[in-house]
Amino acid sequence: MTQFRYPPTPTGEDIEREHTIDLADPCRWLEQSNEQVRQWQHAQNQFTNAYLDRWPHRAHLRREVERYYFDRVGALPLFAGGKWFRAGRNGADKPCLIVSEEPFGEGNRLEVGAGQNGPFGISWIAPSPQGSFVAVGLCTDASENNRIALIDMTTGAQMPNPPPQMLMDAWVGGASWLPDESGFYYLALEGDPRAFDQGMMFHDMRSGHQSRPAIPVPDAEPSEYTLIETSLDGRWSIAHRGLFAPKPVALLDRSQPGAVWRPFITLPEVSVAGFVDGDRLIAVTDAGAPHGRVVSVDLEAADPNDLSLWRDLVEPQPGFVFRTVKRIGNLLYVTGYADTYSEMRVYDMSGAYVQTVPCPEPGAIAEPYFTLMHLIPSTDPGAFYFMHSSPRRSWGVYRHQPGAVELETMRAPDLILDNVIIEDYAAISHDGVRVPYQVVRLADAARPTPSLLYAYGAFNLAFLPDFPGPIAALIEAGGAYVIAHIRGGAELGFDWWRAGRMKAKQNCYHDLYAVAEDLVARGLTLKGKLAMMGRSNGGLMAGVAAMQRPDLWAAIVSLVPISDLLGMLRDPYGRYVLANEFADPTDPEEIVRLSQFSPYHLVCKGGRYPPIFVDAGAADPRCPPWQSRKFVARLQNDAASEAPALLRVRDNAGHGPATPKAIQLDGYADWLGFVMTHLGLTPRG
């Protein structure tokens, strides 16, 4: 039996029934939002706080965490009408819109959100092409759900009667303007946000009315993320559909009176992500190129799905994974990955190589989370602006002028870590596949080193060697931070993603275990000195790792996780996520497979597991807190381990981006303190 006197958790007789599966669901009651659940959650938070308070360095670590925290979200300003727009805060620490002549000039600070109820933040900003108006997404809690405010830049005042609908998040940029500023497209929720019923709308600035464009789509998923881009000359509007592997599914020729949307590229299992350039689409695609290539597709092609009609602009490059392409002047700037590090290459419009842009040092160019987000329209400022960091340098902002040899630093990094080194290794997974990883540590850290392993591995998303933020406190304390590039991510190309999704999802977990075992085999760490943490899908991975391979870990941290995969099938957003990455929810055999890596269902009566800390946000619409409540409750009731199973559910916190900074800092301090306790590390100083 466990040594801990946890708050008591009643159990029920509920059964999870999906197709042919019947599984016990004893903690189903914790999915509710009633007084009994709130009292249970409060008791869990108190228990966790008392446990963390036993570590004498908690307050010291909180100060260290704040020293290393640098937020990159939304930090790159937007250019329109000769001015720069960015979100900021005024003297009263309230969110505001900053408009300046230079990218980071002092400028004017405009109040937004007048009349909003409760605390709010700016989710996104979208200036119109000439800078006459600015659309702003205002979030009144930490959920990322937001509503549109419109600001008239001639007066600086907020305009009446903006679109009334709620938006799910900032993932398609909020508002996509027409070049003449007569209106914009936006992706809106209808009804209860939890129903995840979103569709494309158009707001007419002249009439103030909204309408729904009739866009033909090739799939049956009504709420799939869609982004509309309109060419600078105003002729073409193109609808890109699919968050993780987008393609331009429909096209509107605005030069033709009475024109209607018509299908464009509808090939299955292909990513085509780019922009309209005259009468062609220039895009990065994996069609015929697992690491990507840049193609040109005629917008008036008789059959745009005929690959023989696509023209190669930049052919596949050995050792380089294509990610994005953008036109600056008469050059194409292509970003991608070489050996899991960011790289930027420049080509002319015929596809001839011009140069590789020098980054400050090997590291990561900041990019939006998902591929569709790269396509959010923006006005060309005449140079390539980007953010870059490395495991030893915090985020800086840089500019590359076409033809220049060197970069210009627009905002220098706030911090460079002294005496920190980055080492590259690779493990061999269960099926012989090479899995690269980095170890970040002090040059004089003792070996074997207490280590924290991080991995994500899903949704065609790359986690590159960038600045570790508050995890730097663990590094400075003599620990090592390990970044594993497992299958399911984007670091090694489109096939790397597909080799870790759907029926191949277990490969992600095998890769993780291979890296853990390789760290020990090389003498880089010890079996009892290796912790693992993950966020969101990575939080799911942490839960799976604790259940499938409890022998590997000194501690596990699962942040805003999915823990009950079968329960997700009853949640509209959860069902969307599962269907795109994990399993076909209509296939009984797939549901059986899903249950085999659902942490909540893997908890065994009398099982022994490593110390586990699970952290969730009360306002999280993506991985709602009941996912964490149920998992920890079952661990506390069923496990025979002498290791703790702790839960923290934070009020006014969501999945991450909209969570207030102070709450984020508290979260870092709590889970890092938990890890350092079990690795035997103390904050420096």
β-bridge mates for residue 650, sequence order = 617
The secondary structure of 492-537 as a DSSP string is T-HHHHHTTSGGGTHHHHHHHHHHHHHHHHTTSS-GGGEEEEEETH
Nearest to 605 by CA among 635, 636, 641, 638: 638
The CA distance from 308 to 305, in Å, is: 9
Of 17-31, 468-482, 562-576, 663-677, the range with the lowest mean pLDDT is 17-31
Quick check: 662 pLDDT over 50? yes
Whether 549 has a pLDDT exceeding 80, the answer reads yes
Question: pLDDT at residue 72 above 70?
Answer: no
Q: Is the bond into 448 cis (omega within 30 degrees of 0)?
A: yes
- Reply yes or no on whether the pLDDT at 73 is more than 60: no
432-468: burial string, b at 16+ Cβ within 10 Å, e else: ebebbbbbbbbeebeebbbbbbbbbbbbbbbbbbbbb
The per-residue pLDDT for 244 is 96
Q: How confident is the model at residue 632 (pLDDT cuts 50, 70, 90)?
A: very high
For the stretch 142-197, pLDDT in tens is 999 999 999 999 999 999 999 999 999 999 999 999 999 999 999 999 989 999 99
Q: What is the pLDDT of residue 3?
A: 75
Write out the H or E segment, with its range, that includes residue 176: strand 176-177
Tell me if 18-69+445-462+473-482+494-679 shares its fold with 80-212. Answer: no
pLDDT of residue 453: 98
Check: CB of residue 295 under 8 Å from CB of residue 283.
yes
> Per CATH, the architecture of 18-69+445-462+473-482+494-679 is what?
3-Layer(aba) Sandwich (3.40)
**What is the pLDDT at residue 20?**
79
pTM score, two decimals?
0.96
AA letter at 397 = V
Q: What is the pLDDT of residue 114?
A: 64
What's at 585, amino acid-wise?
A: P
**In the structure, what pLDDT confidence band is assigned to residue 657 with cuts at 50, 70 and 90?**
confident
Label the pairing between strands 341-348 and 353-357. antiparallel
Q: Which two tokens stand for residue 647?
A: 């839960």
Query: Is residue 118 pLDDT above 80, yes or no?
Result: no
Q: How far apart are CA 213 and CA 234, in angstroms?
A: 17
List, in sequence order, the alpha helices (H) in 533-660: 537-548, 565-568, 572-581, 588-595, 599-602, 625-638
Residue 123 has pLDDT above 60, yes or no: yes
For the segment 205-229, the average pLDDT, to the nearest whole number, is: 92
DSSP single-letter state for residue 489: B
Nearest-5° Cα angle at 259, 253 to 262: 70
Q: Output the pLDDT for position 95.
A: 85
**Sequence ranges of the domains in the chain:** 18-69+445-462+473-482+494-679, 80-212, 232-413
Mean pLDDT of the chain: 94
Quick one: average pLDDT of 452-469?
97
User: Tokens representing 668?
Assistant: 């870092």
Tokens 């009892």 label which residue? 528
The yes-or-no verdict on residue 120 having pLDDT over 90 is no
Q: Closest Cα to residue 158, out of 136, 180, 186, 128?
A: 136
pLDDT at residue 587 in the model: 93
What digits encode the pLDDT tens for the residues 391-437? 999 999 999 999 999 999 999 999 999 999 999 999 999 999 999 99
Percentage of the chain lying above the pLDDT 90 cut: 90
What distance in Å separates the CA atoms of residue 265 and residue 568, rounded to the nearest whole number?
31
Looking at 259-360, which runs of residues are DSSP E strands? 262-263, 272-277, 280-285, 293-298, 311-314, 321-328, 331-338, 341-348, 353-357
**Which CATH code for domain 80-212?**
2.130.10.120
Q: How confident is the model at residue 1 (pLDDT cuts 50, 70, 90)?
A: very low
Tell me how far apart the alpha carbons of residues 507 and 514 are, in angstroms, rounded to a whole number.
Answer: 10
Cβ pair 401, 409 in contact under 8 A: no
Other Cβ atoms less than 10 A from the Cβ of 154: the count is: 8
Least confident of 115-129, 464-478, 503-517, 589-603: 115-129
Start-to-end Cα distance in the chain: 38
Maximal CA-CA distance, the chain: 75
Contacts of 524 (CB under 8 A, 6+ apart): 425, 439, 447, 448, 449, 451, 480
Q: Residue 88 pLDDT more than 90?
A: no
Q: What are phi and psi of 608, to 5 degrees?
A: -115, 125
Average pLDDT over residues 293-306: 97
Q: Determine the pLDDT at residue 117.
A: 61
The hierarchical CATH code for the domain 232-413 is 2.130.10.120
Amino acid 119: pLDDT:
59
pLDDT at 438 over 60: yes
Lowest average pLDDT, out of 8-22, 115-129, 309-323, 575-589, goes to 115-129
Tens of pLDDT, residue by residue over 368-404, are 889 999 999 888 889 999 999 999 999 999 999 999 9
Kindly report, residue by residue over 190-203, the tens digit of the pLDDT.
989 999 999 999 99
